[in-house]
């Protein structure tokens, strides 16, 4: 029997390096295993901000327990697609403790966003521009100012209506949002898709390796731009998905 530790706000984790069962009952409530050692009381997209912070703190604190190869692949893919599109300004949504880009030789303006204050502080410590972005936050930039929004391992968490409004507001008409989606159920994906379409995004998705319905989502307010960006993504994906 694995020993679970309560990290706070109904998030549990396995105390040692053993792999626990897929589901665990605690006081009559079912917890789902996430990333092999964390147990969640609800799907990732239903977690509160405080729970999301705890999950990502555990992910960072116990990073030696995490298998990073898929994460490295997805991050590389997002960067290669983005680099080919040569944007002048980029937002990284949900930067966590591992920004997609470092502060040296950046070819574009780069703003890192996260709902976790420690992630924002860590990005600033690397010399990057970073802002706290959660729930009702407003972004500091004017309308249409950003060419690209990149989201590595973020879109399975909750995004508030205000956050989506703000991202849609600052993205230029030919801009794009690219991120991977996994873990979400079909219903939850349909809800995320609808919330993007409600904000006038056109969306394409492509299957990615890794199971759990892993997908690359590409969204743009402009259908013609989306077609061009998707061509770049398809060429990068090649036959390797
Ligand atoms: C799994 S981590 C991924 C971190 C990094 N992008 C990577 O690939 O390693 C998810 C990050 O997204 C942040 N996050 C989740 N939901 C968010 C939201 N709605 N707004 C801003 N940041 C969010 C979390 O705080 C966390 O730092």
Question: Does residue 61 lie within any of the structural domains?
Answer: no
Total domain count for the chain? 2
Q: What is the Cα 141 distance to its own chain's centre? A: 21
Give residue 2's pLDDT. Answer: 86
Structural tokens at position 138: 């407003």
How far, in Å, are 17, 117, 128, 176 from residue 236 at the CA level?
A: 35, 34, 27, 16
Structural domain range at position 45: 4-54
Going from the Cα of 4 to the center of ligand 1, the distance in angstroms, rounded, reads: 24
Beta-bridge partner residues of 11: 8
Give residue 240's pLDDT. Answer: 45
172 lies in the same domain as 80:
yes
Give residue 212's pLDDT. Answer: 77
Q: What is the mean pLDDT of each run of 10 residues along the chain (241 residues)?
A: 92 89 94 94 98 97 90 97 98 98 92 98 97 97 98 98 98 98 97 98 96 94 98 87 46
How far, in Å, are 80, 114, 232 from residue 154 at the CA level?
A: 18, 10, 22
23 lies in the same domain as 93:
no
> Closest Cα to residue 227, out of 189, 180, 176?
176
Question: Does residue 217 lie within any of the structural domains?
Answer: yes
Q: What Rg, from alpha-carbon coordinates, does the chain have?
A: 18
Question: Does residue 60 lie within any of the structural domains?
Answer: no
Q: Please list every protein residue whose CB sits less than 6 Å from any atom of ligand 1.
A: 52, 56, 59, 71, 75, 93-96, 98, 113-116, 119, 133-134, 152-154, 157-159, 163
76 lies in the same domain as 40:
no
Going from the Cα of 101 to the center of ligand 1, the distance in angstroms, rounded, reads: 15
> Are β-strands 23-26 and 29-34 bridged in parallel, bridged antiparallel, or unpaired?
antiparallel
Structural tokens at position 205: 């998705």
Give residue 176's pLDDT. Answer: 98
Give residue 77's pLDDT. Answer: 98
At 184 the three-state DSSP class reads coil
Give residue 61's pLDDT. Answer: 94
């Amino acid at each position: 029997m694995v020993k679970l530790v309560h990290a706070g706000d109904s998030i549990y984790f396995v105390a040692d390096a053993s792999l626990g069962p897929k589901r665990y009952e605690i006081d009559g409530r079912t917890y789902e295993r996430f990333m092999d050692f964390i147990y969640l009381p609800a799907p990732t997209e239903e977690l509160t901000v405080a729970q999301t912070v705890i999950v990502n703190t555990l992910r960072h604190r116990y990073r030696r327990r995490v298998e990073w190869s898929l994460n490295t692949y997805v991050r590389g893919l997002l960067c290669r697609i983005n680099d080919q599109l040569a944007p002048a300004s980029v937002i990284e949504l949900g930067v966590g403790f591992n920004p997609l880009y470092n502060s040296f030789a950046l070819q574009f303006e780069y703003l890192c966003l996260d709902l976790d204050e420690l992630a924002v502080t860590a990005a600033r410590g690397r010399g990057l521009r970073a802002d706290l972005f959660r729930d009702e936050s407003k972004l500091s930039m004017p309308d249409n100012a950003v060419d690209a929004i990149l989201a590595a391992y973020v879109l399975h968490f909750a995004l508030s209506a205000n956050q989506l409004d703000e991202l849609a507001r600052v993205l230029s008409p030919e801009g794009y949002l690219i991120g991977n989606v996994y873990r979400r159920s079909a219903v939850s994906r349909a809800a995320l898709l609808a919330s993007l379409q409600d904000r006038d995004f056109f969306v394409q998705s492509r299957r990615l390796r890794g199971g759990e319905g892993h997908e690359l989502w590409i969204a743009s307010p402009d259908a013609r731009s989306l077609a061009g960006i998707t061509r770049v993504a398809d060429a990068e994906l090649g036959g390797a998905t």
